[in-house]
C-alpha cells in the first residue's frame, strides 16, 4: 500500500496513475470481471434504478461490464459529459444503448451533449466514481479537475441530503493509507476494488 505522508498531491497522483497504467490488458480484464462480481449482487447496485458510471481512461478500472449488466436489468445508466461553458462543470447524461461517442478535451469518450437526457446528480441513486487514489475512510483523490467535487458541492450545504450513494471504483493498487481531506472533498460511502470493499462513513 502507498503511504501518502510526505508526498504532495501532484506527486501522489503521479505515483498512483503510473501504477494503474502499468497493469497489463489481461490484468485489466480480470480486475473488471472481479469488480462486477463485487457489485452485481450488492443491494446498493440491485436497488439502484439510475446509475452514473464512467468510461475508463488512463488505466482506470473498467466499469463497462457493470454498465451492461445494469442495462440488462433495465436500469438507466449515465455518463459524465463536460460542459462547454463553464469549462469547470460537468453534467450526467443518460447513455442510450449503441449511442455514438466522441473524445472530449481530455481524450475520454463521451456522448454528444443532449440536455434533455441529462439528470441532476441528486436525482440519481448511485454514482460510481473514477479515482486516482482512495483510503478506507471515504477519502478520494481524483484527477485534479475538481469536477466531481463541484457537482457534489450541494451536499456540504444540504447535509441531510443522502442521495445519491457515492462509491469509488478502483484497482487494489490505488489504495493509500490515509488521504489528507480538503475542505471541498465529499466523502465516499465506500470504495470497491477488484478485491473487496473499503468502507467510508
Ligand atoms: N473516466 C473518467 N471520466 C471522467 C473523469 C475521470 O476522472 N475519469 N473526470 C473526473 O473528474 C472528469 C474529467 N476530469 C479530468 C481531469 C483531468 C484530466 C487530465 O488528464 N489531465 C491531464 C492534463 C490536462 C490536459 O490534457 O489538458 C493530466 O493531468 O495529465 C482528465 C480528466 C469527467 N470524466
Ligand atoms: N465545490 C467546489 N467549488 C469550487 N471549486 C472547487 C470545488 N471543489 C473543488 N474545487 C476546485 O477544484 C480543484 C481540484 O480539486 P481536487 O484536487 O480535489 O480535484 P479532484 O477531486 O482530484 O478531481 P476530480 O473530481 O475532477 O476527479 C481545486 O483547486 C479546488 O479549488
Q: Are 192 and 167 in contact (CB under 8 A)?
A: yes
Mutate to test the pocket of ligand 1, among 145, 149, 150 (most ligand atoms within 8 A of CB): 145
Q: What is the pTM of this model?
A: 0.97
- Map out the domains of the chain as residue ranges: 9-79+121-199
* Residue list, ligand 1 pocket, CB within 6 Å: 54-57, 60, 80, 90, 106, 108, 130, 142-145, 147-148
* Residue list, ligand 2 pocket, CB within 6 Å: 141-150, 153, 182, 184
Output the pLDDT for position 1.
86
Residue 138 counted as an annotated binding residue: no
Confidence of residue 5 (pLDDT cuts 50, 70, 90): confident
Output the pLDDT for position 9.
92
Q: Quote the CA–CA distance of 96 and 38 in Å, as a whole number.
A: 25
Output the pLDDT for position 6.
84
Percent with pLDDT over 90 in the chain: 86
Residue 131's nearest CA partner among 3, 2, 13 is: 13
Angle 171-70-130 from CA coordinates, rounded to 5°? 30
Ligand 2 centroid vs 150 CA: distance in angstroms? 6
Ligand 1, atom 23, residue with closest C-alpha: 106
Residue 78 counted as an annotated binding residue: no
Q: What is the ipTM of this complex?
A: 0.94
- At 66, list the grid cell: 457493470
Q: Which fold has domain 9-79+121-199?
A: Rossmann fold (3.40.50)
Output the pLDDT for position 201.
61
Output the pLDDT for position 101.
97
Confidence of residue 91 (pLDDT cuts 50, 70, 90): very high
For the four alpha carbons of 146, 4, 8 and 195, in that order, the dihedral sign comes to negative
Residue 54 counted as an annotated binding residue: no
Residue 103's nearest CA partner among 132, 89, 82 is: 82
Q: What is the pLDDT of residues 11-69, one digit of tens each?
A: 999 999 999 999 999 999 999 999 999 999 999 999 999 999 999 999 999 999 999 99
Ligand 1 centroid vs 14 CA: distance in angstroms? 13
Closest listed ligand to the CA of 8: 2
Amino acid at each position: 500500500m502507498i503511504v501518502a505522508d510526505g508526498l504532495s498531491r501532484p506527486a501522489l497522483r503521479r505515483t498512483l496513475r503510473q501504477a494503474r497504467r502499468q497493469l497489463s490488458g489481461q490484468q485489466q480484464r480480470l480486475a473488471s470481471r472481479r469488480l462486477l462480481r463485487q457489485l452485481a449482487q450488492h443491494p446498493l447496485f440491485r436497488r439502484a434504478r439510475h446509475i452514473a458510471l464512467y468510461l475508463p481512461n488512463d488505466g482506470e478500472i473498467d466499469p463497462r461490464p457493470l454498465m451492461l449488466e445494469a442495462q440488462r436489468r433495465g436500469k438507466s445508466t449515465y455518463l459524465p459529459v463536460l460542459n462547454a461553458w463553464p469549462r469547470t462543470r460537468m453534467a450526467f447524461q443518460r447513455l442510450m444503448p449503441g449511442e455514438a461517442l466522441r473524445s472530449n478535451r481530455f481524450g475520454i469518450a463521451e456522448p454528444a451533449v443532449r440536455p434533455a437526457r441529462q439528470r441532476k446528480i441528486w436525482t440519481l441513486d448511485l454514482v460510481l466514481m473514477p479515482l486516482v487514489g482512495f483510503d478506507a475512510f471515504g477519502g478520494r483523490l481524483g484527477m485534479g479537475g475538481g469536477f466531481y467535487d463541484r457537482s457534489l458541492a450541494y451536499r456540504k450545504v444540504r447535509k441531510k441530503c443522502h442521495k445519491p450513494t457515492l462509491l469509488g471504483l478502483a484497482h487494489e493498487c490505488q489504495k493509500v493509507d490515509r488521504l489528507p481531506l480538503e475542505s471541498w472533498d465529499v466523502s465516499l460511502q465506500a470504495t470497491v476494488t477488484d478485491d473487496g470493499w473499503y468502507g467510508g462513513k
